[in-house]
Structure 1
Amino acid sequence: MKAVCVYCGSSPGFRAEYAQGARDLGRALVERDMALVYGGGKVGLMGIVADSVLEHGGTAIGVIPDALMQKEVGHRGLTELHVVRNMHERKQMMADRADAFIAMPGGVGTFEELFETFTWLQLGYHDKPVGLLNVAGFYDRMVDFLSHAVDEGFLKRIHADLLHVGLTPDALLDQLAAAPRVTVDKWQQGREQA
């Protein structure tokens, strides 16, 4: 993996562990010679992870829609900052530039980005690993809910298992690096298991 796309909050959250997790992830990426690809913001966990990458001498690539840049939330100190027309272009460029995806704590935007990328993997639109950095147990209920979806027949276990979960940046990056690059065909698997 040469670049990891990180989805995370434009807020730092209430727990100090979230900011520390972002700093630790930034350091871990640089130690593994991996570039950060992210939403281009200077605020919240987004800004913290980018600043950490830069402080440790790494590469931070931001992609931000013009409307957010106009609100002055764009990080102007990045290695690269791409200003695009809209959220669709932003997400596509981030996906194209990354070899893996990590979701840190965040809000609705983070969840949407995570689930879109996870859906693309499940449908075979890409074969890049996707993971949750479960800082301070932030994603415990989401992981439980995905298991509930499996139990209720709305998600196959083979697909749920495509989402890697780590408690620390190093543990998660190890999982993502070891994950096989497989193309999933949800519909073919459904026919085979029927």
Structure 2
Amino acid sequence: MASGDGSARIRRLRFDTGATWLDLVATVGDAYGETPVERLYDLARLREWLGAEGLLPRHDPGEDDLLRAHALREALRSLALATVRGNAWPAGDVARVNEFLRADVPLELQAEPAGPRVRPPATARESLGRVARQAAEHLTGPEAAMLGTCPDHDCGMLFLDPTGRRVWCAAEICGVRHRVREHRRRRAAG
């Protein structure tokens, strides 16, 4: 996957999927197109993503954490797609996510002067364990029935749709792109 290819729109991190674990899956732009774009292309980008999700660890992530994030992302993508399609989960991806779940640490509440909060993760491994926990809970709970995929053939981004009315990952991106394609197709045909 290219990190320098594609537009700024494709390279920007997405936080509109409805869940942190799906935001991780969305760290590849145009995942099903001819030229997928890696959005977590370096440690600075991983730190940015973890910070935006409220999961920035106390200890700075390393290169191995970036590789782990990629591995978790792809295993979660596989499990989510299997869930949406009504297929069995691939055993290798279940085992991979279970590895991350074993690194999960119980949450602790903290009373802070700025207000109560959950103790931040100590390491990126712990951060990814929290992501895996949310995914496991969603994939085995009522949220599994709320999983949707963007119908744009290049995008296919996974998202939670609790209303049952969401069609596109983002109407202003893929919805507009679809309407433009349909308009051009009708003009060419007519």
TM-score (norm 2): 0.32
- Structure having the higher strand fraction is 1
TM-score (norm 1): 0.31
The structure whose Rg is larger is: 2
